[in-house]
Amino acid sequence: MREKTERIIHEWTDSCDAEVSIAVLGGAWKPSILTLLGEHGVLRFGELGRLLKDPTARVLTRQLRELEDDGLIIRTVYRQVPPKVEYRLSELGASAAPLLAELTTWGTLYAGTQREASAAKTDENEAVA
């Protein structure tokens, strides 16, 4: 498990396990990676890179390592030339699928309402008692 994840789990044990989820799933490309692996089953490093909007190899590597360290994905290295590395969801990673779906749904809803709300300026947020 990543140090960051561990810190959050142990320091916040009280009220806010939601922060744990965000710590694990929040990170550039991570929701996309998990969703793609859920859809495709198994993907190679290069395939993931192309399916996402071409993140730097450095960045993609780091996200994948973090997801691996946090136990969400499984990395399989085939020692051959040229090298071949496959990624797939772990059981834990697969268990996040419904949550990812909800995140997407609410995100879509939010983006929609905010695009409209840009027009109507409501400034009734001050009351005089």
Q: Does 83 bind a copy of itself (CB under 8 A)?
A: no
Question: Beta strands 42-44 and 84-89: pairing type?
Answer: antiparallel
SS (H, E, C) 59-125: HHHHHHHHHHHCCCEEEEEECCCCCEEEEEECHHHHCCHHHHHHHHHHHHHHHHHHHHHCCCCCCCC
Instruction: Verify binding: residue 88, DNA, rule CB under 7 A.
Output: no
The verdict on whether omega for the bond into residue 31 sits within 30 degrees of 0, i.e. cis, is: no
Residue 120 binds to a copy of itself (criterion: CB under 8 A): no
Q: Is 42 in the site for DNA (CB under 7 A)?
A: no
Total residues contacting DNA by CB under 7 A comes to 24
The answer to whether residue 57 forms part of the interface with a copy of itself (CB under 8 A) is no
Contact residues for a copy of itself, defined by CB under 8 A: 1, 5-6, 9, 13-22, 24-26, 28, 31-32, 35, 52-53, 68, 70-71, 74-80, 84, 92, 95-96, 98-100, 102-111, 113-115, 117-118, 125-129
